[in-house]
Structure 1
Amino acid sequence: MSDFVLQDAEAHYGATRVLGPLSMGIEPGEHVALIGKSGAGKSTLLSLMYDRWQAQPVALMPQALGLVDTLSVFHNVYMGRLDRHRWWRNLATLARPFRRDVDEIAALLDEVGIGEKRWTPCGELSGGQRQRVAAARVLYQQGALLLADEPVSALDGPQASSLMGKLTQGYPRSVLAMHDLDLALGFCTRIVGLRDGAVVLDAPSNTLDSASLQDLY
């Protein structure tokens, strides 16, 4: 049985229920795309999953990205493993990063196409560059499950496809809130459609096409 299971889960804003009750599990090898129009509950479901499962090795890439603008690209990516080092090592890295960390992160930044910005403060980057930094951070962090909210929305076609491939290959399972149906179908193994906080579709991606999903929008 999967370690990542929701059973009759609900989310509320005040006294109002905005999601669920719903039950679902994420098995090893599954890459799940959450689709549905704005307000359907995709981000709320990701937040609920993270709240329930964060004691396990879960990486989160929120839509707001969570970057520290005054820190360099390198340091923002390094933050993905802060909890694995002693406090003094993390403090020392702020002033003089260790060569092993620099080399590992530099190679990862090259993979996502932003290697030349390694020492640039994140506040000086474009939206697409910031998204690639956040993606590099979760790839550096690693774990058993990736939760990501619109992880490639600021990128164009080839860049979006490349980064989607790296994210789904970098984790044994993932749940990704997506707005691009072609990318969702191309890189995810399972499609979960939401409407008004309820699951109205849950099917293997190879049984679906973009046209069959349009009524969710």
Structure 2
Amino acid sequence: MTLARLSGATLGYGAGAVLSDLSLTLDPGERLVLLGRSGVGKTTLLAHLHDQMTGAGQRVALVPQDHALVPQLSVLRNVLMGRLDDHGALYNLRSFIAPRARQRAEVTALLADLALEGLADRPVAALSGGQKQRVALARGLYRGGTVMLGDEPVSAVDETQGPLLMDLIAARFATAVVALHDVGLARRFGTRLLGLRDGRILFDAAPGAVEDAQMAALYAD
């Protein structure tokens, strides 16, 4: 079963095309990494995939580049937002006022996996950039689903944490599409690498089939 499909698609905002004649499929079990310079269209492609898959009724965990957190709320409540659409308004209101013991236990265990121990009740506004990014990742992991879509989900953490967090994503989601800027991490995590340049796909292949020269051409001036 194919989870997403594009055939000759043109994607962009308003009248401006960011990506043209784009064709690809996403199958279960694939970890697709989007590579390319800033502004090439990785975020646009992720947004389109999100709309397509959620429109088809698939459960998608999203980790946006801007985190999309509520700074005044605690870490715990921001993570709980990952499942807001699972329940009605009254259930969600009660959870936000007084989170259930089961919810707190689930989120606390997840925060420990992300090196955020002891921060469940801290306002997001008081966190560092790297901590905020991990809270956004925690919300996506807490949501769960068929596939995770991540837009630079580990860009604000150090080179030691990055691989560990990507391993956590791989362990929780059989299928993922992520935009990364770290080529080494992309080769380590992905089963497919999709290189974007000048509005088109430069390569779409397994990591071992992408040569260093192809990768260099992706970022060359």
SS in 1 for 2:118: helix
Which digits, 9 at most, give the CA deviation of each residue in 1:22-80, with x for residues without a partner?
Answer: 11111111101100111211111111111222232112111001000011000000000
Return the alpha-carbon distance in structure 2 between the equivalents of residues 186 and 69 of structure 1. Answer: 33
The partner residue of 1:147 within 146, 149, 160 is: 149
CA shift for structure 1 position 212: 4.2
Return the alpha-carbon distance in structure 1 between the equivalents of residues 167 and 145 of structure 2. Answer: 17
SS in 2 for 1:68: coil
TM-score (norm 2): 0.94
Partner of 1:52: 52
Structure 2 gap ranges (5+):
none
Structure 1 gap ranges (5+):
none
CA shift for structure 1 position 19: 1.0
CA shift for structure 1 position 21: 1.9
| 1:161 paired to 2:163 | yes
| Amino acid paired to 2:194 | V
Which digits, 9 at most, give the CA deviation of each residue in 1:82-125, with x for residues without a partner?
Answer: 11122211101122110000001100000011021110000110
| Amino acid paired to 1:103 | A
Runs of 4+ with deviation above 4 angstroms: 209-212
SS in 1 for 2:38: coil
Partner of 1:36: 36
Count the aligned residue pairs: 217
The partner residue of 1:177 within 171, 179, 193 is: 179
Return the alpha-carbon distance in structure 1 between the equivalents of residues 210 and 203 of structure 2. Answer: 11
Partner of 2:114: 112
Report percent identity of matched pairs. 44
Return the alpha-carbon distance in structure 2 between the equivalents of residues 187 and 107 of structure 1. Answer: 24
Return the alpha-carbon distance in structure 2 between the equivalents of residues 67 and 107 of structure 1. Answer: 20
CA shift for structure 1 position 211: 5.5
Return the alpha-carbon distance in structure 2 between the equivalents of residues 210 and 142 of structure 1. Answer: 34
The partner residue of 1:189 within 188, 191, 206 is: 191
Partner of 1:129: 131
| 1:95 paired to 2:93 | no
| Amino acid paired to 1:5 | R
Partner of 1:86: 88
Indicate if the aligned counterparts of 1:185 and 1:209 stay in contact, CA closer than 8 A. no
